[in-house]
Amino acid sequence: MYPHHGAGKVVKKEMKEILGERREYLTIKILHNDMTVMVPSENAGKAGLRRVIGEEDVARVISVLRADVSQMPKNWNRRFKYNRDKIKTGDVFEIAEVVRNLAIREADKGLSTGEKQMYTRAKKILASELMYALDMEEGEAEEHIDKLIEEANAERNGAAAAAK
């Protein structure tokens, strides 16, 4: 899992000389956007590379996606920075929270163009990880995310209507 781009496969591990320095590099193919990234092996941790989540963490991601919206700044540019910083962490639970919050906000009030792009990107990153974790195609993973959020919204709206 590469934090800024999503899940991929290590396709090569090789020694390369770049700028006069010989190091071992990992070549990672990010599948959802057909990108290839090279990372020095020794910097893999610093770059935020990690293994794709397992079954337990998938269950936690699903519960994050189904939870209520969390507190976000009301001002759109503060909210944008807040969400961007969460995505930058590469933490799957933070990304799931951004996806959920933006999906709920889009359904309630709509999103600015920048937030729509952020939502699409965050959802792609999350779907790319779930695709590997749940052994699905990318489109299936995105549909799965949408379905979880829609079901949770319907439950919330049903509970709100029943409380009136």
Domain made up of 52-163: CATH architecture: Up-down Bundle (1.20)
Question: For residue 2, what are the CA distances in angstroms to 33, 40, 55, 124, 153?
Answer: 12, 13, 19, 12, 30
Q: What percent of the chain has pLDDT over 90?
A: 32
Residue 120: which of 146, 145, 99 has the closest Cα? 99
Domain made up of 1-51: CATH architecture: Beta Barrel (2.40)
The full set of domain ranges for the chain reads 1-51, 52-163
Helix axis angle for 55-66 and 92-108, nearest 10°, is: 20
Mean pLDDT for all residues in the chain: 86
- Rounded CA separation 26/32 (Å): 18
Segment 29-44, tens digit of pLDDT: 887 777 888 888 888 8
pTM comes to: 0.83
- Rounded CA separation 89/92 (Å): 9
- Rounded CA separation 133/131 (Å): 6
Segment 122-148, tens digit of pLDDT: 999 999 899 888 988 888 999 999 999
Q: Do domains 1-51 and 52-163 have the same CATH topology?
A: no
Segment 68-110, tens digit of pLDDT: 878 888 888 898 999 999 998 889 999 999 999 999 889 888 8
Q: Kindly indicate the confidence band of residue 62, based on its pLDDT and cuts at 50, 70 and 90.
A: very high
